[in-house]
Structure 1
Amino acid sequence: MRVAVVAVGQAGGKITDALLRYERDSREDFVVDAVAVNTARADLFGLTDVPAENRVLIGADRVKGHGAGADNELGAELAADDIGEVREAVDAVPTSDVDAFLVVAALGGGTGSGGAPVICRELRRIYEEPVFALGVLPARDEGGIYTLNAARSLKTVTDHADATLLYDNAAHRETGESLAGGYDRVNEAIARRLGVLLSAGEATDPTPEKVVDASEIINTLGRSGGIASLGYASAPLNRKRGMFGGFKAVSEDALTTTTRVTATVRRAALGNLTLPCELRDVERALVVVSGPPETLSRKGVEEGRAWLEEATGTPEVRGGDYPLRDTDHLAALVLLGGVTQTPRLRELRAAAVEAQRNVAAIAERADLSAGIWDAEGLDPLF
């Protein structure tokens, strides 16, 4: 599936940089073009792979290029005020080659959290292609303001995107990891998962046994404002490089290849989701198995798809393969669409409502108006 990427905020830009590097290193072609939008001039200058001419500074008249300071209401206002500049940059993308738009942002900060829903709304207003969001949720220890920002942004972006794919930092934080190292690892992990998913629909050499085309990815994500999660797992293969480069094909019996494929699909779906959820709480699913052609057992792919159908309890499970010659791993990617319930989202909402009440209480103590806060629930951004 070929996408036009719109990165919003610092994290959105860095994730998009990582996705463009993955595309280049894997010699694939799934990003038609990428645009980066930010209120912080330094963050735009710090990008390495988004073309310089596609970097859009918004809000310069108000924040002077210094960012929105974790204020996502301000981020939304600045994006709305300068939406014409964003639209002009996106208009330069050859949309005849685009299957979908992908808006990428962290949901806990200011610019990405506030700006992503505004940009999704504008893209859906103008273009017929679906608009999907990729949102990164903050870890639990990042603070109440980031939790509140993320919950309000998510509530708003799901109203304005066809579907929202979530990556939960709380589920993927590693013990003892530095902040910078953690962000780099997250960016690369997201890029790898997205890269496999988007590349699968463009594979032509070697030819897949069962092609996963753009419409299958779009139909799995859905177009009714739902939540999606991505699972990924890989298994090493006993392959050796030949004298002149590349890997030598290894002959294996059918049982070995089938068992490895189905086991990798199970690990992807059960233990490594971007947003942990119960498989019974999803409406649609897609499985893609990638690796050397001789290791992609058609029976294994079909058994993996059948297992996922049984595990989710939905007949709407699609599947296919993505053959790669120059790799020593077999990998499985599982896309879950229409996620209806997750403990993490319930926890996020409860924490955000509590943080919102605390903000209202502080405003009242300061003799300020607290009328904008909804004491019974959570306010959207707009």
Structure 2
Amino acid sequence: MKLALVGVGGGGSRLVDTIRGLEASGDRQLCYGHLLTIDISRTVDDDFEHVSPDQHVTIGDTHREVDEGVDGAQELAVEVVRADFPEIQRSLDSIPMRKLDGVLVVACLGGGTGSGAGAVLVERLQELYDKPVYVLGVLPAAKAPDRAALNAARSLRSIVPAADSVILFDNDRWLDPDAADVDEEYERANRELAGRIVSLFAREESDPDSIGANTMDSSDIIRTLSPGGVTSVGYAETDLDDGGGFLSWVLSLLPGDRGDEESDDRTDAGKIQGLVRQALNSRLTLPCEVSSAERVLVVLSGPPEELSRRGFESARQWLEEETETVEVLAGDDPRTGSSTVSAVVLLSNVTEVPRIDAMQRQAVEYERSRTVQAADESD
């Protein structure tokens, strides 16, 4: 799938830089270099390794209330992006949207720029292009300031109805609160998320004659995400190891003679199903009740000979049982010569998400306390 990447705010822009770096270092393509980062500041962020200066737009640099960002002020970010949107649009015009399948807006929803400017940007992109506009949103950690929870809750109310789907990443689940180096912890979380996004959306340039019947294409992903709402992603990977490890463990679970063809088929199917189970039971980008998903997609990547057709069917049937939906698509991403097999599970339009419920309660309490404080100060 070919997507333009648009990073909003400092956190969203750094994540786009990480995704582009992972894409550029491998053999899979996601944005093909078609990206843009947007931030509100009087100073330009020069820390990017994979985003060139002409792909970065600084807005708000002439606004009287802006210094080095908006300091979490969501309303100010909305005001700035609306005033400076013509400058953003000029940069967007350099991206050949007609050749792409859609746009992925990347933002940290606890910050003022990501939550405020991100919501406005999604609405404007929907007006400009007849392509799906997806959002990759990062939720603030539970220990972040209450204002971050309020920003994220407000942003979700605007972004979820406007976007074609919102893939969420819960920092609270991925960050180690006891880590000595906080910056390194955030970089590690960014790499984990970037790996899942590249595995889900990016594809290797393939010979059309070599594409099999099970090969996943962009229409399958678009169909799975089409109900909108909130999406979570699971991932698992294993090295191909004939001498032990994951494969030996699977073999030990299978009855009968392992030397015949039927046993080999069971082994391949068991290996695929075990990997899919691991992906669904791994740390999802957003912890949720999997049975609340409306649609599910599983993408298996690895050498074609390792991607068992029987394994596809058994994994799909198992996912139907676990997620309690018949809207399950399964496809492969053949990678000749790869030394690993991986599975990505996409849970679309999940509705039972305890983290969002807790964040909304935190936001309500914060708003209530601010109202009480304002009333006391006016007396």
Q: Is the 8 A contact 1:201 1:212 kept in 2?
A: no
Q: Which residue of 2 aligns with 1:320?
A: 331
Partners of 2:206 and 2:314 lie apart in 1 by 22
Instruction: Indicate the residue corresponding to 1:80 in structure 2.
Output: 82
Alignment correspondent of 1:182:
185
Paired with 1:106 and 1:140, the residues of 2 have a C-alpha distance of 14
Name the structure 2 match of 1:259. 270
Q: Match of 1:341?
A: 352
The aligned residue for residue 213 of structure 1 is: 217
| Corresponding residue number in structure 2 for 1:122 | 124
The alignment partner of 1:289 has SS state of strand
User: What are the residue-to-residue correspondences of 1:146-161 with 2, within 5 Å?
Assistant: 146-161=148-163
Do structure 1's residue 356 and structure 2's residue 374 form an aligned pair?
no
Q: Which residue of 2 aligns with 1:70?
A: 72
Moved more, 42-51 or 141-150: 42-51
Give the distance between the partners of 1:208 and 1:68, measured in 2 at CA. 50
1:197 alignment partner, one of 197, 200, 221: 200
Q: CA deviation at 1:121?
A: 0.3
* Unmatched runs of 5 consecutive residues or more in structure 1: 241-250, 369-382
Taking structure 2 as the reference length, what is the TM-score of the superposition? 0.89
Q: Is the 8 A contact 2:29 2:203 kept in 1?
A: no
d(CA) in 2 for partners of 1:202, 1:336: 26
- Counterpart AA for 1:281: S
**Structure 1 position 102, deviation (Å):** 0.6
Q: Deviation string for 1:228-251 (max 9, x for gaps)?
A: 1111111222169xxxxxxxxxx9
The answer to whether the 8 Å contact 2:27/2:204 transfers is: no
Q: Distance in 2 between matches of 1:131 and 1:239?
A: 43
Aligned 8 A contact 2:44 2:58 in 1: no
8 A Cα contact 2:216 2:332, kept in partner: yes
CA contact (8 A) 2:28 2:204 kept: no
2:346 aligns to what SS in structure 1? strand
Partners of 2:105 and 2:298 in 1: how far apart? 23
Aligned to 2:281: 270
What is the letter of the counterpart of residue 223 of structure 2?
A: N
Question: How far did 1:330 drift?
Answer: 1.5
Q: Residue 325 of structure 1: CA displacement?
A: 2.9
Q: Are the equivalent residues in 2 in contact too, given 1:134–1:166 (CA < 8 A)?
A: yes
* Letter aligned with residue 108 of structure 2: A
Tell me which residue corresponds to 1:55. Answer: 56
Alpha-carbon distance in 2 for matches of 1:202, 1:219: 22
The DSSP-based 3-state class of the residue aligned with 2:105 is strand
The structural deviation recorded for 1:201 is 8.2
Determine the structure 2 residue equivalent to 1:18.
18
Equivalent AA in structure 2 for residue 38 of structure 1: D
CA distance in 1, matches of 2:91, 2:192: 28
The corresponding residue for 2:252 is none
Are 1:94 and 2:96 counterparts?
A: yes
Equivalent residue runs for 1:355-374 within 5 Å: 355-367=366-378
1:175: Cα distance to partner?
Answer: 5.1
Q: Is the 8 A contact 1:203 1:322 kept in 2?
A: no
Is the Cα–Cα contact under 8 Å of residues 36 and 56 in structure 2 kept in the other structure? yes
Q: For residues 41 and 18 of structure 1, do their structure 2 counterparts lie closer, same or farther at Cα, with a shift above 3 Å needed?
A: farther
User: What CA distance in whole angstroms lies between the structure 2 residues aligned with 1:151 and 1:47?
Assistant: 29
Alpha-carbon deviation of 1:283?
A: 0.2
Cα shift at 1:49: 1.1
Q: How far apart, CA to CA, are the structure 1 residues paired with 2:227 and 2:127?
A: 14
Provide the secondary structure at the position in 2 that maps to 1:44. Answer: coil
Equivalent residues of 2:42, 2:62 under 8 A apart = no
Q: Distance in 1 between matches of 2:61 and 2:177?
A: 39
Q: TM-score, normalised by structure 1?
A: 0.88
Deviations 1:125-152 (A, max 9, x none): 1111011111000111112111111111
In the aligned structure 2, how far is the partner of 1:332 from the partner of 1:364? Answer: 54
Q: Provide closer, same or farther for how the CA distance between residues 301 and 89 of structure 1 changes in structure 2, counting only shifts above 3 A.
A: same
**After superposition, what is the alpha-carbon deviation per residue over 1:8-64, rounded to whole angstroms, capped at 9, x for unaligned?**
001111111111111111122220400000013556322221221121111111245
Distance 1:203 1:263, change over 3 A: farther
RMSD of aligned alpha carbons: 2.1
Cα 1:148–1:358 change in 2 (3 A) is: same
| Residues 290 and 324 in structure 1, CA contact (< 8 A), matched pair in contact too | yes
Deviations 1:163-186 (A, max 9, x none): 111000111123532211111111
Secondary structure of residue in 2 paired with 1:45:
coil
Amino acid of the structure 1 residue aligned with 2:58? L
* 1:380 counterpart residue number: none
1:287 positional shift: 0.2
The code of the aligned residue for 1:28 comes to R
Whether 1:294 and 2:305 are equivalent positions in the alignment is yes
Q: Does 1:109 align with 2:111?
A: yes
Paired with 1:292 and 1:181, the residues of 2 have a C-alpha distance of 33
* Contact preservation (8 Å) 2:110, 2:149: yes
Q: Among all aligned residue pairs of Structure 1 and Structure 2, give the percentage whose two residues are the same amino acid.
A: 36
Deviation string 1:160-210 (CA, Å, 9 cap, x unpaired) is 211111000111123532211111111111111111111248655864451
Contact 2:272 2:312 in 1 (8 A): yes
* 1:238 aligned to which of 212, 232, 241: 241
Letter in 2 for 1:329: T
